[in-house]
């Protein structure tokens, strides 16, 4: 499907595309608040949440369609966050490198494309399919979660750039680490709370809670 360009920013005539990938099973306030804070700190006009296709590395997960529906509900009122469905719609295994190739082809060689990941992903990226190619297609921002310190990423085939405007002018090949306000919350905790019939009102948007209840997710009903 065509990528939405409605929230892309043209700053210094450079198209920006910032993608926060994840399983989002389900999306929670930690994802949403962090993505918004990232946009604010980096002065990005928008951040795109991209749910992975098959959550093949996680067991007992919801279908991609449910995860996508919940994300769409979560960002419905947002002027900063949007959702890209391309990994969900693609058949078979979804690799970040393929997604980035697609985006690069669509947005052109000068576009600033940045993939956002947590420190957990940054530590395991060397095991991703064609991981070195990622840096020929995009920049990477590593966001630190609660209690996490900066990683030594000097083995990455990318340049460390800490100055925001310089970073934002790079089409690909740069990385930086960004500390965000710690929000101690995970999808696993949300799933566990729902399974145990505990309230999750402070952790998940109301529209998502209603969707979960309507479809009986995370209670062993689906
Ligand atoms: P699970 O508990 O099932 O492992 P999760 O809460 O880590 O899920 P994911 O969908 O796997 O959620 O994460 C997507 C991205 O969001 C990852 O880069 C992850 O590091 C980041 N992330 C998850 N929770 C938070 C949080 N509370 N604050 C900031 N970033 C988060």
Residue nearest to atom 24 of ligand 1 (CA): 186
Of residues 26, 1, 48, the one with CA closest to residue 215:
26
d(CA 98, CA 104): 10
- For a ligand 1 pocket test, name from 19, 21, 22 the mutation site with the most ligand atoms within 8 angstroms of its C-beta: 22
Determine the atom of ligand 1 nearest the C-alpha atom of 118. 20
The CB of 22 under 6 Å from ligand 1? The reply is: yes
- Cα(31) to ligand 1 centroid in Å equals 6
Of residues 20, 51, 37, the one with CA closest to residue 142:
20
- For a ligand 1 pocket test, name from 118, 124, 178 the mutation site with the most ligand atoms within 8 angstroms of its C-beta: 118
The CB of 119 under 6 Å from ligand 1? The reply is: no
pLDDT of res. 93? 78
- Cα(209) to ligand 1 centroid in Å equals 18
d(CA 147, CA 183): 10
d(CA 62, CA 26): 8
- For a ligand 1 pocket test, name from 21, 23, 59, 140 the mutation site with the most ligand atoms within 8 angstroms of its C-beta: 23
Determine the atom of ligand 1 nearest the C-alpha atom of 24. 10
pLDDT of res. 14? 85
d(CA 137, CA 132): 9
Give me the CATH topology for the region 16-215: Rossmann fold (3.40.50)
pLDDT of res. 13? 67
- Cα(24) to ligand 1 centroid in Å equals 7
pLDDT by position in tens, the chain (length 222): 333 333 444 445 689 999 999 999 999 999 999 999 999 999 999 999 999 987 555 545 568 999 999 999 999 999 999 999 999 988 877 899 999 999 999 999 999 999 999 998 999 999 999 999 999 999 999 998 667 788 999 999 999 999 999 999 999 999 999 999 888 899 999 999 999 999 999 999 999 999 999 999 998 744
């Amino acid at each position: 499907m065509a990528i939405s360009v409605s929230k892309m920013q043209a700053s210094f005539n450079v198209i920006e595309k910032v993608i926060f990938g994840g399983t989002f099973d389900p999306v929670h306030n930690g994802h949403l608040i962090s993505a918004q804070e990232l946009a604010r700190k980096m002065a990005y006009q928008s951040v795109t949440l991209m749910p992975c296709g098959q959550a093949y590395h996680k067991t007992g997960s919801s279908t991609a369609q449910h995860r996508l529906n919940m994300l769409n509900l979560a960002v419905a009122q947002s002027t900063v966050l949007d959702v890209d469905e391309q990994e969900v719609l693609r058949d078979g295994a979804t690799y970040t490198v393929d997604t980035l190739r697609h985006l690069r082809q669509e947005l052109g060689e000068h576009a600033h494309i940045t993939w956002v990941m947590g420190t957990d992903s940054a530590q395991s990226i060397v095991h991703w399919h064609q991981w070195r190619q990622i840096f020929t297609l995009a920049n990477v921002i590593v966001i630190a979660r609660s209690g996490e310190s900066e990683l030594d990423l000097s083995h990455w085939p990318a340049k460390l750039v800490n100055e925001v405007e310089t970073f934002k002018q790079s089409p690909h090949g740069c990385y930086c680490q960004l500390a965000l306000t710690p929000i101690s919350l995970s999808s696993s905790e949300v799933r566990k709370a729902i399974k145990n019939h505990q309230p999750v009102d402070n952790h998940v948007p109301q529209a998502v809670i209603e969707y979960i209840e309507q479809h009986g997710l995370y209670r062993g009903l689906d």
